Amino acid sequence: MAPGYILALNVGSSGLKFAAYEAGTMRLLVRGEWRASAGAAIQLRLSAGTGGVAVCTTVPSLLPTGQIRLILDALTPYTETRVLMAVGHRIVHGGRCFSVPVILDNHSISKLEELSPLAPLHQPACLAMVEAVREVMPGLRQVACFDTGFHNALTPPVSRYAVPPELEADGVRRYGFHGISYQSITDQLAADPTFSPDERVVVAHLGSGASLCAMRNLRSVDTTMGFSTLEGIVMGTRPGTLDPGIMLYLMRAKRWSADQIERLLYHECGLKAVSGMTGDVEALLRSTDPRAREALDLFAFSVARHTAAVASTLGGLDRFVFTGGIGEHASPVRAMIGDRLAWLGCELSGEANDDNRREISAADSRIRVQVLETDEQAVIARATAGLVTGPTAMAADASNEHR
């Protein structure tokens, strides 16, 4: 039998990341991503294994089926004679029905489509990629990994909103997101010989979307996102926590429709609104416009404010971890956040922070501060391999046959 490989697809709010792994060994073969480029084009970047061999091309914007075909063509020189065994997907919202990875079938896809109103920026795009794989490679097994799954163990009062019980019974509760990223960080912390399980940890996933997760024994005990991907920290184009009275005002005084409000909340708020320019932190850091600084200051304030909130759930803070695109690369933003957390005992080493080192806390900092690279694709691939190979695959297939 020809050797196989697993393909992990990670559809995000600002692009698509993917990676191919050798089945069995889970050795990385190639990773890539694409983002919007000039006009209606996308920029495709590839990096082979750990060698850093980069390929960069610009192609016309494509529908999901075209994206899948392009990815498969781009992977061919790196996967060689290996057979694609399965595709794993990041699915943002699993709701109450899905907390662990599952093999996708008609039933599960239908249930996940029902959750699209809770994550309209992500869920439809994720599921469109699932359908594209079905169209291009009929019969290939696909696995869903859920951003909400990591927070499944949240319990009251953290998991509750102060709403009538009938709404809670309908699923109006706090779910939390970015769970695949948080799983990647906990895997790294668990492998760190200096890490103690009783440490009180806050992980900051800071990217186009942003959230915090408070952890004890490497399990989620609090998080800033809740029912949808809107709550919590100020984000690129999302406002974070917002007084719901503003929505009532827009509906009653301004006669705004639900569609108008949805567009506002997901596309026209956040750093983009405050700066009047963009939600891209890299561009804001380059700008000399004072509004760019105001937007970044609000972002740092928001992260620090919510850190204090989730640290109260932990009863203190021992370690703070930056991850995500902003957390891993924007050292000035990390410095701004660190300054606002000084009262908690957080002190950064300016040199280490500027150099993007793994450890960026000063020697006398009471809180250990790290920068860890998240690898959601690796988490997705391992979960996918676990479901499509070995005895777990047989059990999953049997379960799907009886749906």
* Digit-coded pLDDT (tens) for 353-396: 999 999 999 999 999 999 999 999 999 999 999 999 855 443 44
Structure pTM?
0.92
**Residue 43 pLDDT > 80:** no
Amino acid at 8: A
pLDDT for res 121:
84
Residue 82 per-residue DSSP state: P
pLDDT for res 36:
64
**Residue 403 pLDDT > 60:** no
User: Rounded mean pLDDT of 107-118?
Assistant: 95
User: Rounded mean pLDDT of 319-323?
Assistant: 98
The band of 52, judged by pLDDT with boundaries at 50, 70 and 90, is: low
**Residue 186 pLDDT > 80:** yes
User: Rounded mean pLDDT of 30-48?
Assistant: 71
Q: Which of 3, 40, 111, 7 is nearest to 385 (CA)?
A: 7
| Phi, psi torsion values for 392, nearest 5 degrees | -65, -30
> Which pLDDT tens digit goes with each residue over 243-278?
999 999 999 999 999 999 999 999 999 999 999 999
pLDDT for res 396:
41
List C-alpha distances in Å: 11 to 100, 258, 342: 18, 25, 35
- Residue 286: burial class (beta carbons within 10 Å; 0-12, 13-18, 19+): exposed
pLDDT for res 42:
62
**Residue 58 pLDDT > 90:** no
280 catalytic, yes or no? no
CATH entry, 4-146+377-401, from 3.50.50.60, 3.30.420.40, 3.40.1410.10, 3.90.470.10: 3.30.420.40
β-bridge partners, 60: 41
Which residues lie closer than 8 Å to 237 by C-beta, 6 or more apart?
Answer: 208, 266, 267, 268, 269, 270, 271, 272, 273, 279
CATH code: domain 165-371 is 3.30.420.40
Q: What is the mean pLDDT of the chain?
A: 91
Which of 73, 147, 170, 198 is the catalytic position?
A: 147
Residue 41 per-residue DSSP state: E
Which residues lie closer than 8 Å to 3 by C-beta, 6 or more apart?
Answer: 22, 23, 24, 81, 82, 83
**Residue 318 pLDDT > 80:** yes
User: Rounded mean pLDDT of 333-339?
Assistant: 98
Amino acid at 33: E
pLDDT for res 387:
95
Q: Three-class SS of residue 26? A: coil
Domain with CATH 3.30.420.40 in the chain: 4-146+377-401, 165-371
pLDDT for res 389:
83
Helices and strands in the chain: count of H runs, count of E runs: 15, 13
**Residue 297 pLDDT > 60:** yes
Q: How far apart are CA 21 and CA 10, in angstroms?
A: 14
How many CB atoms sit inside 10 A of residue 221's CB?
19
**Residue 61 pLDDT > 90:** no
The band of 301, judged by pLDDT with boundaries at 50, 70 and 90, is: very high
**Residue 136 pLDDT > 70:** yes
**Residue 54 pLDDT > 80:** no
What is the Cα gyration radius of the chain?
Answer: 21
Q: Three-class SS of residue 185? A: helix
- Tell me the angle at which helices 391-401 and 376-388 cross, rounded to the nearest 10 degrees: 80
- Answer with the residue of higher pLDDT: 3 or 309: 309
pLDDT for res 205:
98
